[in-house]
């Protein structure tokens, strides 16, 4: 973790504040690539993940924070309290949503989900690759970075649903083939609609998604399972209703963790045996199918026992 200084704040749209962070002593900042995020330490010491939305290689790191009045308080603190010159704790850079090679890339952003996709679109435009971006929001006033999106030219299409209605999933995915990678960031409803449509066409493995909300954990909670920690020589019972991360940490085994909601990737742990019930939004479908790692904070066992590399 390092302390960075807030160099500037820009109201990018209604309720979305861009926070520009620099090293207070002018030291260099970590390299990053589109899709990367940092962890911001908020007022109560907990952390929130924010995608980087500036330009890689620049002199600052920029995040965009949507004011969630019904949230856990992190965004409210940023909007109401953080001011230029303040120091904030930042961890990272991490990237679980990196731009991969593909003959064609389709980017679909819902609202503030534009933040990781905008640097991707700018890089794709610079590199001359085949791509397009659909940016969906209720209306221009609440859609951050519209100027930068429009500067990308005709490959970037803005859909204001209050003006022209919601684009259909078929329209958003028109022409997608097994050669296309589809990156989606936004609310769960948007991601799930895209996922369903791709699945129906047998293209589910082309999806790369980043959620802004934690996955819904109200789904069926399987019973307890046994977790064997190979290196520590421990065998622990994980009861229904408790996470593997809680049980492992309680047993005195240190595991890196941040969000505890399956969205940041910090608690990624190697799996040596057993079948994982993946409940995170970090791993791709292919990575989940490989069954060789898991997010301990949310994922569980499909069978009675898992052996992990701890
Ligand atoms: S702590 Fe963030 S994915 Fe587990």
Contacts of 67 (CB under 8 A, 6+ apart): 15, 16, 17, 75, 76, 79
C-alpha of residue 86 to centroid of ligand 1, in Å: 27
Q: Tell me the average pLDDT across 153-182.
A: 95
Q: For the segment 10-56, what is each residue's pLDDT rounded down to a tens digit?
A: 999 999 999 999 999 999 999 999 999 998 988 877 788 899 999 99
Q: Using one digit for the tens of pLDDT, what is the confidence trace for 143-153? A: 999 999 999 99
Could you tell me the distance, in angstroms and rounded to a whole number, from the CA of residue 260 to the centre of ligand 1? 4
- Closest-CA residue, ligand 1 atom 3, reads 262
Flag whether 99 is in a domain.
no
Kindly report, residue by residue over 283-308, the tens digit of the pLDDT: 888 889 899 999 999 999 988 889 99
Residues whose beta carbon lies within 6 Å of some atom of ligand 1 = 257-260, 262-267, 280, 282, 295, 297
Atom of ligand 1 lying closest to residue 262 CA: 3
Same domain, 169 and 232: no
Count of structural domains, the chain: 3
Q: Which two tokens stand for residue 158?
A: 């803005």
Instruction: Compute the distance from residue 290 Cα to the ligand 1 centre, in Å.
Output: 19
Which range has the worst mean pLDDT, 30-34, 40-44, 155-159, 210-214? 210-214
- The answer to the question of residue 218 being in a domain is no
- Residue 222 scores a pLDDT above 70: no
How many A from CA of 203 to the centre of ligand 1?
Answer: 27
- CATH code assigned at 276: 3.10.20.30
Spacing, Cα 232 to ligand 1 middle (Å): 21
CATH code (residue 201): 3.40.50.80
**pLDDT value of position 135:** 97
CATH number at 26 reads 2.40.30.10
Kindly tell me if the per-residue pLDDT of 213 is higher than 80.
Answer: no
Domain region containing 135: 104-211
Count of beta carbons in the 10 Å neighbourhood of residue 231: 10
Judgement on whether residues 52 and 33 belong to the same structural domain of the protein? yes
Domain boundary among 45, 60, 94: 94
Residues 243 and 302 both lie in one domain: yes
Residues 77 and 21 in one domain: yes
At 70 the pLDDT is 67
pLDDT tens readout for residues 80-102: 999 999 999 998 898 989 999 99
For residue 295, give the ligand 1 atom closest to its CA.
4
Distance, CA 292 to ligand 1 centroid (Å)? 16
- One domain for residues 75 and 157: no
Pocket test for ligand 1, best of 40, 261, 308, 310 (most atoms within 8 A of CB): 261
Is 298 a member of any domain? yes
pLDDT value at position 43?
80
């Amino acid at each position: 973790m390092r302390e960075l200084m807030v160099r500037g704040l820009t109201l990018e749209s209604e309720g979305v504040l861009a926070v520009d962070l620099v090293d207070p002593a002018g030291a260099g900042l970590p390299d990053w690539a589109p899709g990367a995020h940092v962890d911001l330490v908020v007022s109560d010491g907990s952390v929130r993940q924010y995608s980087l939305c500036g330009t890689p290689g620049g002199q600052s790191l920029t995040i965009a924070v949507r004011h969630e009045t019904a949230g856990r308080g992190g965004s409210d603190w940023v909007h109401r309290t953080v001011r230029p010159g303040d120091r904030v704790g930042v961890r990272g850079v991490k990237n679980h949503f990196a731009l991969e090679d593909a003959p064609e890339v389709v980017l679909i952003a819902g609202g503030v989900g534009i933040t990781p996709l905008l640097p991707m679109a700018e890089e794709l435009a610079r590199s001359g690759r085949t791509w397009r971006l659909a940016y969906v929001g209720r209306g221009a006033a609440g859609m951050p970075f519209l100027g930068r999106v429009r500067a990308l030219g005709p490959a970037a299409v803005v859909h204001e649903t209050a003006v022209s209605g919601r684009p259909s999933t078929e329209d958003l995915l028109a022409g997608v083939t097994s050669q296309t990678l589809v990156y989606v960031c936004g609310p769960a409803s948007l991601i799930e609609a895209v996922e369903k449509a791709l699945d129906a066409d047998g293209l589910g493995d082309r999806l790369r998604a980043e959620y802004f909300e934690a996955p819904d954990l109200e789904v069926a909670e399987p019973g307890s399972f046994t977790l064997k920690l190979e290196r520590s020589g421990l065998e622990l019972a994980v009861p229904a209703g408790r996470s593997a991360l809680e049980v492992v940490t309680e047993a005195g085994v240190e595991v890196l963790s941040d969000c505890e909601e399956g969205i940041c990737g910090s608690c990624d742990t190697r799996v040596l045996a057993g079948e994982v019930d993946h409940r995170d939004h970090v791993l791709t479908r292919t990575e989940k199918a490989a069954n060789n790692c898991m997010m301990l904070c949310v994922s569980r066992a499909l069978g009675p026992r898992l052996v992990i590399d701890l």
